[in-house]
Amino acid sequence: MAYSYSALKEYQQCPRKYYENKILKKWPFLKTDAIMYGEEVHKALEEYVGKGVDLGKHSRFKGLADSITRIKGEKLVEF
């Protein structure tokens, strides 16, 4: 099972809430506009920085992606 930063943070804040949300799935998870935007940014950066795939339809993130690629050192995308 893979754990995201946000899932671990939720567990740290309230194990009961984590259990009811992630394990029992008592309430449906509703994606907000902010969540959908964040997923799009993450996917674009994962492909561009991690795999070298052209941004294509995600070209509006080019400035951000280029600033990340200029950082020295190894980039561990979705590590």
Please, how many CA atoms are within 13 Å of residue 26, restricted to the half-sphere of its CB?
A: 6
Q: If you average pLDDT over residues 51-70, what whole number do you get?
A: 91
Give per-residue pLDDT as tens, 12-44.
999 999 999 989 999 888 899 999 999 999 999
pLDDT at 5 over 90: no
Map residue 4 onto helix, strand or coil: coil
- Quote the pTM value: 0.66
Given a contact cutoff of 8 angstroms between Cβ atoms, the answer to whether 21 and 27 are in contact is: yes
